[in-house]
Amino acid sequence: MKRRLVAVAVAGVSLLAACSNDEEVLTSTTSTTVADTAIPETTTADTLPPRTLPPTTPSTSTIPLTEGSVTFTKFADGMVKPVDLASRGDNVYSVAEQDGRVVVMSNGTVSMPMLDIARQISTGTEQGLLGLAYHPTEPLAYVDYTRADGDTVIAEFAVNDDGSFDAASERVVMTIDQPYANHNGGELAFGPEGLLYIGLGDGGAGGDPERRAMDLGSLLGKILRIDPLASGDQPYTVPADNPFVGVEGALPEIWSYGLRNPWRFSFDAATGDLWIADVGQNAWEEVNVALADDGGGRGVNFGWSAMEGNHPFNTDQSAEGAQAPLWEYAHGDDGCSVSGGTVYRGNAIPSLVGWYVVTDYCSGKVWALRADGTVLLLGVVPGNPSAIVTGPDGELYVLAHSDGVAYRIDPA
């Protein structure tokens, strides 16, 4: 299917939680220092072909969504570098803090930690505790963190009846070597079929120096899909219908590839569509959508590092067959690092139902985006928003990383 590309042009900056300009030149233990090198656009003929999606089913609301339709209400503060929010199916708001704690938001503030692994993680700019997800049917939680040596760990913890994590129960599901300290990804999400999806950046430095994102022999620059439950002596199993099972030279865990740093992705609870906010390099941020009817990202190449957004980047990489982003925006007034993002399916704002809501870490701008390419600015939140997530009440929450605040998106 084809879809239309919507571009918003602006100017340039840098960031913390999902670094887009890589101001720090980070060094690998096995590679020489690599600085960012923006490869200039040579011709517009090299851009990805735009894709046209069918119109989105209109909201049943008779009130149109406009700028000013929503407001951002402070829900809780007192957190330290919040990066993710999850719920185990009750009314508990579990928040992952980058420095290594999982806390509960309640009564406008936060509780004592349900989990504290601060002593076993690395705490570089883009390192730490980066993702949290609860198993949909088992009393288990999964976290994504970078351990002391900088490698990514996906770990499982048993969850007690009171919601606390049994720290002694930690079981390492997967460890991924990280050659540099940035672009770790961090998202964990259970898909509609109950399997775990894992977001991994391209390994870091700048410009995908080892060309890992399109390399099917590397887990970096990918979204993975596994059954995380232990099976015999295996820490996890690979679903038989993963796209690269049995493909010579390809790792079977891979679901999608060609991603730079998919800091946050999510599934539409109503349709199963996969929405990915992929952090850009020097110039462009992008949002991708993979429709459930088209496989939900199964085997899709999203183009990095042949392309940054819809623009040529590493000319030694082929963009043939890559899927264009649904939406891109340039660095500048609109920001410098996209922070996803989820489709709203709540009850409080009928006109927002079916819109994907996304923000930028640098500018704090919050947009609503539809699968037909329509984009609407909703407003601005302070504090370097690191994520927009759905709470256990079905409403949307913006996590302000630097201020330690969670804002609920309410009707104006």
Instruction: Give pLDDT tens digits for 232-275.
Output: 999 999 999 999 999 999 999 999 999 999 999 999 999 999 99
At 89 the pLDDT is 84
Partner residues linked to 197 by β-bridges: 189, 225
Q: Output the pTM of the full model.
A: 0.89
| Angle 254-258-260 from CA coordinates, rounded to 5° | 110
At 27 the pLDDT is 30
Cα dihedral 379/380/386/389 (nearest 10): -30
Residues of the chain predicted below pLDDT 50:
1-45, 58
- Number of C-alpha atoms within 13 angstroms, CB side, residue 297? 30
Distance CA(89)–CA(68), nearest Å, equals 31
Asked whether the bond before 305 is cis by omega within 30 degrees of 0, the reply is yes
At 57 the pLDDT is 53
At 356 the pLDDT is 98
Distance CA(226)–CA(241), nearest Å, equals 11
Distance CA(288)–CA(189), nearest Å, equals 16
325 neighbors 310 (Cβ within 8 angstroms):
yes
At 3 the pLDDT is 37
Tell whether the torsion through CA atoms of 106, 112, 118 and 124 is positive or negative: positive
Domain 6-23+52-411 in this protein, CATH class: mainly beta
Closest CA to 383 of 3, 15, 10: 15
At 221 the pLDDT is 98
Assigned token pair, 120 = 């076993």
Asked whether the bond before 340 is cis by omega within 30 degrees of 0, the reply is no
